[in-house]
Each structure stands twice: as structure tokens, then as C-alpha cells.
């Protein structure tokens, strides 16, 4: 790909992430039907390590442009602020940031393969193999 097209491709990816509804998803064997934004935030910010049903929660992040949009909608913070937060938490040894997968396809597979996993994808990529707990418009 030539150098002139790369910025355009990045711009299109960021634009599509900003316009996507973000679905917070779990494994279909997880008995929860829904979570509040606050509950999801507590799991992804390392404040709690379990779901409301006391099952262990394994938060999974994406390393795609959707990650910035997810945290902006969930916490009102920029990705830079989220990264700074995790740097402080890691330094104190209180918790570890969520594991990361590269994209929606990898997220779906990870969620399907791990009963305690919780993650997020572009709502348009839902395929019925996971349970949706929350939509972040």
C-alpha cells in the first residue's frame, strides 16, 4: 500500500468505529441477561474481578480502533487517559489490564471459548454465538 492511502485507510477505520454501536458480550453459558454500564466499567477498569453472579470475569480488550470508542462511550475518557490509568494501577500492583485480541473475529472466538470472558464488538458483527449484555450507542 502506498504512503498516501494509509492515512485514508486509518481515517476510514476510525470513522467506522466512531459510528458503530458497541455490543458488550459474554459466553452464552454465562447466565447473566444484562449488565449496567457501571458494572461493565468496574470489570474493565479492574475494580471488580467477578460478575454479579459471583463468577470470575475475564475482561478482553481489542487492539483495534474500536477500543478507543468503547472506553469513550463507557467511561467518557480518552484512550490516553485509560492507558495512563492502567500504568498507575500496574505500578502499584493492584490489578492487570484486560487481555487484548486484535479484532471482532478474534473477540468472538475468545468469548465463545472462555465461559468467564467478557468483551465487546461492533454490533454489526454479532453472529448469535455470544450473549449481548449491553449496547453502548
The fold for domain 21-136 equals D-Maltodextrin-Binding Protein; domain 2 (3.40.190)
Cell of 61: 480488550
Can you give the residue ranges of every domain in the chain? 21-136
pLDDT tens-place string over residues 38-64: 999 999 999 999 999 999 999 999 999
Q: In what order do the strands lie in the sheet with 58-62?
A: 99-101, 58-62, 117-122, 22-26, 131-136
pTM of the model: 0.85
Beta strands in the chain (DSSP E): 22-26, 58-62, 99-101, 117-122, 131-136
Closest Cα partner for 51 from 27, 68, 70?
Answer: 27
pLDDT tens-place string over residues 65-82: 999 999 999 999 999 999
Amino acid at each position: 500500500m502506498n504512503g498516501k492511502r494509509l492515512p485514508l485507510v486509518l481515517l476510514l477505520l476510525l470513522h467506522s468505529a466512531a459510528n458503530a454501536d458497541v455490543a458488550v458480550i459474554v459466553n452464552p453459558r454465562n447466565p447473566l441477561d444484562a449488565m449496567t454500564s457501571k458494572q461493565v466499567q468496574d470489570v474493565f477498569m479492574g475494580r471488580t474481578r467477578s460478575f454479579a453472579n459471583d463468577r470470575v470475569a475475564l475482561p478482553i480488550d481489542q487492539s483495534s480502533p474500536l477500543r478507543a470508542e468503547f472506553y469513550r462511550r463507557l467511561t467518557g475518557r480518552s484512550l490516553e487517559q485509560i492507558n495512563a490509568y492502567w500504568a498507575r494501577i500496574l505500578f502499584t500492583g493492584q490489578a492487570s489490564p484486560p487481555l487484548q485480541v486484535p479484532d471482532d473475529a478474534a473477540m468472538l472466538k475468545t468469548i465463545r471459548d472462555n465461559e468467564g470472558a467478557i468483551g465487546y464488538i461492533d454490533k454489526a458483527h454479532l453472529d448469535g454465538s455470544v450473549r449481548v449484555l449491553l449496547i453502548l450507542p
